Amino acid sequence: MGKRTSKRAAPSDVEVRLDGVAAAFELGEFEKALASAEALLAHAPGLPEALHWRAAALTELERVEEALEAWARAVKAAPEDIELLLGAVECLVGRAGDDREAVEDGLELCARGKKLAQRAGNAELLFELLLLEGTGLNQVGECAQALGSLEAALGLVPRSVEARLERAIALFELCRFPEAQAAFEDVLKDEAEEPWAHHYLGLLAERRGDAKEARKRFAKAQALAPKEFPSRVELGEEAFDQAVEDAVKALPRHVKQYLDNVTIAVEDIPRDEDLLGESPPLSPCILGVFRGPTVGDRDTHLYLDDPASYDPYPASIVLYHKNLERVARTREELLEQIGITVMHEVGHLMGLDEDDLWQRGLD
């Protein structure tokens, strides 16, 4: 009696085509991968694997808005696919990081993905999700929570440069400056050419008043990553003051009436007491700050009758010259950002909180 052999089933047409999409993607042929995924979806609408590859290809092609829609569709088709959730979070947090709403959506998916990864005992994916969660929380200003996520990630992969860097950023944002200094220096022990570590060490040197060290660190960061750290747009003191004055003049008339007894000043960077006067502390990278009572906290009728004589508490707006210069790539952008920052701080004077300002595009 002859030896019985088993026959392996031939791969289906869908499997063959999925393999083709994957091969194109791995070779970096993202346009081809996208076209192949879309052709497959025309044949098999709603196929989760094809939706996943399509979203991933759009992400790599930096077609971010389309990618976000594609990830949403893919997640809806396979809500418990951890790798798909991870890809969606990477796009929402990593590629759309300037979009607060997208980051918050990514954090929601992170929470779901973490539960699934823990249930599956998948430490590798859990680490990636914790890292992305920490990054996203840093981006929306929840740095104390970010620290918890990043320390959990480092519990899984203790020497991860990415997680250690993001943890150091959280420490800096929380104004824990000596700890941040040590953490960035520790990153450079393993990754001497990490531009963000050099940049933040420059910010820390600037805060200490060590101008020479700050210049050296900023130059190093720029040399390593010129796109992320272009040459700083500089506006002299007189020109900067004039830009602030112009921004105040451009405010609506009904707003300007509240500024008669408000001091508007310019400083290079925030002082420690400016930052630590709040709980949690303010970011060292803030562009401006409002101090004092809001309009709603005053006796409005008396104030409007004679604003010059009614000043129960001092109120002031401070703009930070160097921080503003750092966020602009051109003179025009800097002037625009000065105007936005003035309006932002006047918004606080009017009693608006950060969520109100974000909804009005003044974050």
| pLDDT, one tens digit for every residue, the chain (363 residues) | 444 444 544 558 899 999 999 999 999 999 999 999 999 999 899 999 999 999 999 999 999 999 999 999 999 999 999 999 999 999 999 988 678 899 999 999 999 999 999 999 999 999 999 999 999 999 999 999 999 999 999 999 999 999 999 999 999 999 999 999 999 999 999 999 999 999 999 999 999 999 999 999 999 999 999 999 999 899 999 999 999 999 999 988 888 888 878 899 999 999 998 899 888 899 999 999 988 887 766 554 444 555 554 555 578 999 999 999 999 999 999 999 999 999 889 888 887 665 554 554 444
Find out whether 288 and 325 touch, Cβ atoms under 8 Å: no
- Same domain (yes/no): 184, 288: no
Give the CATH number, domain containing residue 279.
3.30.2010.20
pTM reported for the whole predicted model: 0.87
Q: Which residue has the tokens 């997680």?
A: 163
183 Cβ contact list (under 8 Å, min separation 6): 164, 167, 168, 171
The token duo for 224 is 């390593």
- Same domain for 283 and 208, yes or no, is no
CATH classification at residue 213: 1.25.40.10
The answer to whether residue 324 is domain-embedded is: yes
Decide if 172 contacts 269 (C-beta within 8 A): no
Q: 291: Cβ–Cβ under 8 A, 6 or more apart, which residues?
A: 314, 315, 316, 317, 318
- Distance (Å, whole) CA 291 – CA 281: 14
Range of the domain at 181: 159-231
Domain count, the chain: 2
Looking at the fold, whether 249 and 354 belong to one and the same domain comes out as yes
